[in-house]
Structure 1
Amino acid sequence: MKGAISLVSPILAAASDIPAVDRVLNLPQTQTLLTQYGRTQVTAAVRRLLDELRSQALAGTLAASAIDDSSLSSSLEQRLATASRLQLRAMFNLTGTVLHTNLGRALLPYEAVQAVISALTNPANLEFDLETGGRGDRDSLVEDVLCELTGAEAATIVNNNAAAVFLMLNALAQRKEVIVSRGELVEIGGAFRIPDIMQRAGAKLIEVGTTNRTHPADYANAISARSAMLMKVHCSNYAVSGFTSSVEVATLAELARPHGVAVTVDLGSGTLIDLTQWGLPAETTVRETIRQGADLVTFSGDKLLGGPQAGIIVGRADLIQRIKKNPLKRALRVGKLTLAALEPVLRLYLAPEFLAERLTTLRLLIRSQPQIQAQAERLLPVLQVALTGKYAVTAEAMFSQIGSGALPVDQLPSYGLVLRAWSTADGGKRHGRALDKLEKALRHLPRPVIGRIASDALWLDCRCLEEHDENLFKVQLQDLSL
């Protein structure tokens, strides 16, 4: 009949039609895969592929075309490529959060990358004293520069700031009391709570004041013969505003000194320099905290400091020595790669006039909105072509955030691309599914693109898109499959 559609059933293959493992291994295309992946991996992949094809054949759903030489080679190559892909992969962070915990926080500057490569490929003096020829202390690799930058007497390094706080409490306050304001009993990512970590460290928490107001007398009245320290904690990820009062470090030092009680500060973000000179919000530096009278300060290496993940403790030499003698110090110590990355980052701060250019984290934080806007507008037509007829794409102003609990209420004017689903009759649910589909497609690109969904749109903030990555970003859009 004219105009009728002819439905032709596909030719099916039987289980007996499936080739043997040796035959697939001897295909010309497979020989190339053997050279690349080795016989062990390729043989295992062939067996898994043929087992799946056999199951389809027994179910009567295996198309004969699926077992021709070309299809078998193509399926095998795809499987091997997927299986061999590293799980820790480079991504495009277009979330608008510069120090994104889930995406690895601070990006290391060139100097740190080169130092890590050297440490990876050569023997290094991790615990070898080149002056004496004897065993050395790995902390000494960065202690001098940390003391110069912070004004502290001594320093030690562990694997993150949570470990630094835990070790400090366990070494100095086990079976003793630690006095903390109720307004500073914080919980940060991963359910890290000050009361819990204090209990695990063997210290007894003494809460003083109220959630919004704590006064010097609250601390003074709580000090006893069992007191080990007065502790202040940086309010990560939130801020208390309005009718508030807190006690400065200098005042705590005056209260604690006559009783021989230590004043410790968990500063968290690890700011080593005044950020306001670049137009960023003010944040107390480690040096200022030491100058105000803190006996010990703990902070992170991979937040505002801009280095690798590490927990740094600086302060009085006698207290640092007690911490280093604690058996837990060995369990929490860092390896050569962390120290290799940390030292050059710290040394960048010795020449602060070059920081904005050389320290990656700072460079991203201080990018101007006009600069980011120009970048977004360069990318706009490329993304519009890639999503023609499926999504509306615009370049719009937006706000970035620093992230990782640093200056939690402050935002940075930014610019980026906003992707919206075209209007549909059934409204919201369809919009949501369309955005989820697009977000998933971006996540499955060779170098995943991570944005954020909010207000019925997918937002791609360009603040953290380095200009040297623009071309790769554009090329990837050609592989966007929706």
Structure 2
Amino acid sequence: MNAPFHLPSVDKLLQHPHTATLLSAYGKTQTTQAIRSAVAEARIQWLGSKNAAATPNAETLIAAACQALAQRFAPRLKSVFNLTGTVLHTNLGRALLPQEAIDAVAQALATPSNLEYDLATGGRGDRDDLVEDLICELTGAEAATIVNNNAAAVLLCLSTLTAGREAIVSRGELVEIGGAFRIPDIMQRAGATLVEVGTTNRTHARDYENAISDATALLMKVHCSNYAISGFTKSVSDAEVTQIAHAHQLPMMVDLGSGTLVDLRQWDLPHEVTVRETIEAGADLVTFSGDKLLGGPQAGIIVGRKALIAQIKKNPLKRALRVGKLTLAALEPTLRLYLHPEQLATRLTTLRLFTRTEQEMQAQADQLQPALQTTLGSAYQVSTAAMSSQIGSGALPVESLPSYGLMIRPTERKHSGRQLQQLETAMRSLARPIIGRLQDDALWLDLRCLEHTDQATFIAQLSALTTILSHHHERHSA
């Protein structure tokens, strides 16, 4: 006959000295629930095994409750190491904010602010006023307004200017952005009738001319930042389309997508058309993102003619799509950095990552390789290797940046695919997950986004990686 099964009561466990820390951290309601669940789980396991020797003591039950509480209250949004080689990685949060923006957001979180309060008059203010002058100075536009992302910016412009009328766009510019979000779908939601002109690879000025009718509301150009067509191609410049539009008293709108405020060639980076260049080409409205090449928070920025911006701001959708104080708090100091071009490459985090030298990353790889090799042992071979980074988020899709990092291959070719999957999973299980990329039968860790300030944390986690991998091995061996 089995010995009797005895578990401590929930009340007794709540009075245990080890529970005091849980009560302080999580409160009585959550701690009681966790302990009750731990006791119930222990009872279910005993009924399945009928093994009285396996009866957990109070410390074991409290430890189980502690683990459950820690998991429940752990943040879902975690800091990770982005070693994918994609700097503006959409799934990993895109641009990292400069320190000036981080400090401004912290202050906006902690204190009231003049978000919509005019300090000069004591009356109601316009939240766009906090950044409009800066944006106009940096772009050459007459006016500006801000919404929550570039897709919203495009939607708002089209809803205001083309509802019930036609918008003319080159067939080669009907792009799809992330998450199967397509320009034609946005136009349909805005109430515009899409008129496609030209072909996928060639569009001529006469195609725009021939499509204009009494129902035309505007001509639109879409900067194809997330793909490129090569070979037998023809497109019409912004300036040419502007001339055609203005000859018919129509506005011309440009969706720049990523959008940059400076000529990247001064840092030996590939050229991307700037917002100022687009305004100078005659565009009446330009939309672009705040969290891509600009290096700020997620936002959609609309710049252009003052009369058109005023019309857009009266659209009821503007309130639904407007940004909050945290976005504006982060955007203003980010924009101010552009007023100091000689310091931009060091102070703007995104640009600093773009401009890291291959030699700097190679030296970093040489420092990290021995530690990672020691952690992984003889089962893996860790080597330093030249790599290619990309800017990401649809910007300059065919351009790459010379980079350097660590390449990890299983020592034995047999089951190497499974080993790499296990290693990738283990790295994603760390307190600060390491996200690399699997390619060519290896796990690549591109170091472009691993700044020296984070290197110590990266190394400190390696001991935990050993434990996780051993648990994986035990499960597969069982």
**CA distance in 2: counterparts of 1:406 and 1:323, whole angstroms:** 27
Aligned twin of 1:444: 429
**CA distance in 2: counterparts of 1:246 and 1:82, whole angstroms:** 54
Aligned twin of 1:171: 160
Deviations 1:318-349 (A, max 9, x none): 11011100000000000000000000000100
Q: Which of 78, 89, 93 is residue 89 of structure 1 equivalent to?
A: 78
Q: How far has the Cα of 1:270 moved from its partner?
A: 1.6
**CA distance in 1: counterparts of 2:429 and 2:214, whole angstroms:** 60
**CA distance in 2: counterparts of 1:77 and 1:135, whole angstroms:** 50
Q: How far has the Cα of 1:77 moved from its partner?
A: 1.9
Pair 1:222–1:382, CA change in 2 (3 A) = same
Q: How does 1:227-242 map to 2 (within 5 A)?
A: 227-242=216-231
| SS of corresponding position for 2:287 | strand
Aligned twin of 1:310: 299
Aligned residues: 467
User: Is the CA contact 1:56–1:62 (under 8 Å) kept in the aligned structure 2?
Assistant: no
**CA distance in 2: counterparts of 1:380 and 1:69, whole angstroms:** 44
Q: Which of 20, 23, 39 is residue 28 of structure 2 equivalent to?
A: 39
Q: Which of 181, 198, 204 is residue 209 of structure 1 equivalent to?
A: 198
User: Is the CA contact 1:65–1:71 (under 8 Å) kept in the aligned structure 2?
Assistant: no
User: Is the CA contact 1:175–1:204 (under 8 Å) kept in the aligned structure 2?
Assistant: yes
RMSD: 1.3
1:422 aligned partner, one-letter code? T
Q: How far has the Cα of 1:78 moved from its partner?
A: 1.7
Question: Does 1:468 find its partner at 2:457?
Answer: no
Aligned twin of 1:423: 412
**CA distance in 1: counterparts of 2:60 and 2:363, whole angstroms:** 45
2:425 aligned partner, one-letter code? K
**CA distance in 1: counterparts of 2:214 and 2:346, whole angstroms:** 51
User: Is the CA contact 2:176–2:183 (under 8 Å) kept in the aligned structure 1?
Assistant: yes
1:190 aligned partner, one-letter code? G
2:290 aligned partner, one-letter code? G
Aligned twin of 2:345: 356
**CA distance in 1: counterparts of 2:451 and 2:33, whole angstroms:** 40
**CA distance in 1: counterparts of 2:214 and 2:151, whole angstroms:** 27
Q: Which of 222, 229, 244 is residue 233 of structure 2 equivalent to?
A: 244
Q: How far has the Cα of 1:61 moved from its partner?
A: 6.2
2:95 aligned partner, one-letter code? A
Q: How does 1:108-123 map to 2 (within 5 A)?
A: 108-123=97-112
**CA distance in 2: counterparts of 1:353 and 1:222, whole angstroms:** 46
Pair 1:215–1:386, CA change in 2 (3 A) = same
Between stretches 327-336 and 32-41, larger displacement belongs to 32-41
| SS of corresponding position for 1:17 | coil
Between stretches 106-115 and 28-37, larger displacement belongs to 28-37
| SS of corresponding position for 1:231 | strand
Question: Does 1:98 find its partner at 2:95?
Answer: no
Deviations 1:151-190 (A, max 9, x none): 0000000000000000100011000110000000000101
Q: In proportion to residue count, which structure has more helix?
A: 2
Deviations 1:396-451 (A, max 9, x none): 10110000000000001001111111224xx3xx2111111111110010111111
| SS of corresponding position for 1:59 | helix
TM-score (norm 2): 0.96
**CA distance in 2: counterparts of 1:477 and 1:442, whole angstroms:** 9
Q: How far has the Cα of 1:112 moved from its partner?
A: 0.2
Question: Does 1:456 find its partner at 2:441?
Answer: yes
User: Is the CA contact 2:35–2:62 (under 8 Å) kept in the aligned structure 1?
Assistant: no
Between stretches 459-468 and 230-239, larger displacement belongs to 230-239
**CA distance in 2: counterparts of 1:238 and 1:193, whole angstroms:** 14
**CA distance in 2: counterparts of 1:434 and 1:66, whole angstroms:** 36
Structure 1 residues without counterparts, runs of 5 or longer: 1-10
**CA distance in 2: counterparts of 1:323 and 1:443, whole angstroms:** 44
Aligned twin of 1:59: 48
Q: How does 1:192-341 map to 2 (within 5 A)?
A: 192-341=181-330
2:105 aligned partner, one-letter code? V
User: Is the CA contact 2:379–2:412 (under 8 Å) kept in the aligned structure 1?
Assistant: no
User: Is the CA contact 1:300–1:310 (under 8 Å) kept in the aligned structure 2?
Assistant: yes
Aligned twin of 1:5: none
Pair 1:62–1:193, CA change in 2 (3 A) = farther
TM-score (norm 1): 0.95
Q: How far has the Cα of 1:457 moved from its partner?
A: 0.6
**CA distance in 1: counterparts of 2:144 and 2:26, whole angstroms:** 47
**CA distance in 2: counterparts of 1:434 and 1:331, whole angstroms:** 48
Deviations 1:372-392 (A, max 9, x none): 011111110010000002211
1:264 aligned partner, one-letter code? M
**CA distance in 2: counterparts of 1:323 and 1:164, whole angstroms:** 10
Question: Does 1:141 find its partner at 2:126?
Answer: no
Pair 1:68–1:150, CA change in 2 (3 A) = same
1:182 aligned partner, one-letter code? R
Aligned twin of 1:384: 373
**CA distance in 2: counterparts of 1:63 and 1:352, whole angstroms:** 73
Q: How far has the Cα of 1:65 moved from its partner?
A: 4.8
Q: How far has the Cα of 1:271 moved from its partner?
A: 0.4
2:197 aligned partner, one-letter code? V
**CA distance in 2: counterparts of 1:460 and 1:174, whole angstroms:** 48
**CA distance in 2: counterparts of 1:123 and 1:108, whole angstroms:** 22
Deviations 1:279-337 (A, max 9, x none): 10000000000000000000000000000000000000111011100000000000000
Aligned twin of 2:475: none
**CA distance in 2: counterparts of 1:55 and 1:229, whole angstroms:** 68
Aligned twin of 2:472: none
2:17 aligned partner, one-letter code? P
**CA distance in 2: counterparts of 1:108 and 1:129, whole angstroms:** 27
| SS of corresponding position for 2:449 | coil
Q: How far has the Cα of 1:76 moved from its partner?
A: 2.0
**CA distance in 2: counterparts of 1:388 and 1:418, whole angstroms:** 14
| SS of corresponding position for 1:156 | strand
**CA distance in 2: counterparts of 1:50 and 1:167, whole angstroms:** 55
